Amino acid sequence: MLEARRCPVCGENYYPPTQFCLRDGTRLEISRTLIGRVLDNRYRIEGMIGEGGMGTVYRVTHLELEDIFAIKVLSPELVNNENAIKRFRQEARAARVIKHPNAVDVTDFGVTTDNLVYLVMEYVEGRSLRDLMREGVFEFHRAVKLLAQVCDAIESAHQNKIIHRDLKPENIMVKEVGGKEIVKVLDFGIAKLLESDPNDIQQRRLTEAGKIIGTPQYMSPEQCQNKELGPASDIYAIGIIGYEMMAGVPPLTGQGPADYFVKHLYEKPVPLTQVAPHVPDVVAREIMQALEKAPGARQLSAADLARRLRAAMRRADGEPTISPVDTSVIDESLENRATVAIESVSVPRESELETVVREDSGRLQPPAGSPSHTSSRSADEPAKSKLPMIAAGVVGLAVLAVIGWFLLRPDAGGGTTDKPNVAQATPTPFVNEFGEMMYIPGGKFTMGRNDGEADQRPAHAVEVKPFFLDRYEISNEQYKRYVDGANATPPRNWTGRTCPPGLESLPVTHITWQDAEGYARWAGKRLPTEEEWEFAARGGEKNNLYPWGNDWIESAAYVDIGADKPTARGSFSRDQVFGVFDLAGNVSEWVQSDYLTYESGQPIPACAPCKVFRGGNFVDEVARSTAVYRWKIFPDVPKQYADVIFPKVGFRCAKDVK
């Protein structure tokens, strides 16, 4: 320890914050301290802020700038030779690249002539999350707002290939700015200093027997097994912190490191809602998913967890997260669990007897809102186990519709002639084995923009007829049925004819325009035209640049994430209009149209056969996610562009209104 105290009477040694001898009550004397010392002729140590297993944090003043900073001086036993100091420099340089409002900024680092190793950080006027947790259980709104900020900081680190490894309430500072609580996360990458170097026998001895890499209470199962760590390890720690904030107790308790290791690996935590009934189920579900034992079962990224927590809070508050035309509440977070509950079919209400049973592509379809249409997950997801039940429900509705027609027809004496002609009513959304389709009313709108890129100009008036559009992008699971049913070529990222595990519910990618067009024809649909796609994405006659309006809203769509794959469909409530999701992000989408200039209506000679894909995606920057941005490429995607185009482009289908 860098700071030590000694009893002048009995000689017993103590460490801060103890000030009196526990044996005789005598005030302790300082026996070792850095307070008052100047490090490297720049930083004068004014006082101690805190002390932990990795080192001691001090408040310092820069002698020339007169600015206040915080310095963490690492415990000498952690960096006691040249190899360890070299690793420290590497990790310190890495930590400096993290520049995020919720991450404490590392401004400098150094090693003194007597081998004191230190990091200089911005000084945060605030309290640790641990201090705040001692005051009592967190109300879920406050907890979510703080946790989401932690996720934002951690995501920034992950994007720079840095795993925190030691996330805990002590490493999270909270300060108040303008009445709002702002998070600052500390100690990025420092835990990696404790990893044993195979060439450093002395350090390996230090880390093998008694020294734990990380804090056992917050360690992930894979960390307990000393496996290679990825972003999912930090997500697990965030889940533990969130559980503890809202429940007042950690999800798992132990008597020591070994006990914690066993429980992290094998013991399932009590559901958060059981120990904290005040926490809404939608919020608790995200925390419990972060605590899954398998890294792949947790949220896709820290950014994904932040988005889901914020969306769950809005949903718990009753804020609309789906279009008013939707007839079911869809919990997209269940897609990653691949669990489907088969629901019972209830008898239709009397008002439902007048519903027209739609015949589409030779198949009877249940109307939106009918029991067979409602599901615990997106109705866009085909579930073979439901087909017999759906068929029975459809046949029952058809029989009831026929009976109703005989009872209500004018010549039966029991009906009235002023009944509305339901066949001429506005078409309703419908679902079949190929997914759920939403009705787009059509109308006039202004396509393109005069202040955009050359191929977006000029803005011009277009009229679109009513049409149906898939509510979600086509998933790998849906595409698998096409591959098997039509003996079609599987996507290029599959292993043979099998979709990689965990990707079933994600949008299908790695397909050409011909692949997408082939699926659409097989499903009795077609690809949307470029005009139809833009009409839907712009909110029709509203002419928005984004589904939600004309200004970009951070975290409103899955755009420029830096991930290696898309996310679960429908994860962003703002990124939808007409009940159609993911028009601004997730994956871009093939459309039916050839690439023509707006000005001449003719193709560019060098790109005469080019096709168009539209919409933002998880790879490219926000500027390319407007509803007017146009992408073009040859329909079979040349090999030199394959690695760039294939991972980020999928599709959805359209259908004419008959």
Q: State the first-to-last Cα distance of the chain, in angstroms, to the nearest integer.
A: 79
Which tokens sit at 332? 């997209």
**Catalytic residue list contains 166:** yes
Judge whether 628 and 545 are in contact, CB under 8 Å: yes
Q: Within 10 Å of residue 4's Cβ, how many Cβ atoms?
A: 15
Q: What is the C-alpha separation between 621 and 597, in angstroms, rounded?
A: 23
Catalytic residue among 152, 166, 326, 575: 166
**Token pair 């027809």 is at which residue?**
409
364 beta partners: 359
DSSP calls for 240-302 = HHHHHHHHSS-SS--SSHHHHHHHHHHPPPPPHHHH-TTS-HHHHHHHHHHT-SSGGGS-SSH
Q: What are phi and psi of 576, to 5 degrees?
A: -155, 150
Distance CA 592, CA 513 (A): 8
Rounded Cα distance between 10 and 505, Å, is: 68
Distances (CA, A) of 313 to 285, 490, 627: 11, 39, 28
- Cα-Cα-Cα-Cα dihedral sign, residues 394, 397, 399, 402: negative
Cβ burial 153-162 (10 Å sphere, 16+ → b, else e): bbbbbbbbeb
- Provide the greatest CA pair distance for the chain: 111
Structure tokens at 37: 């010392």
Burial of 415 per CB tally in 10 Å (0-12, 13-18, 19+): middle
- Which pair of structure tokens corresponds to residue 214? 């990380």
The secondary structure of residue 489, as a DSSP letter, is P
Determine the Cα–Cα distance for residues 582 and 588; give it in Å rounded to an integer.
9
Indicate which residues carry an active-site annotation: 166
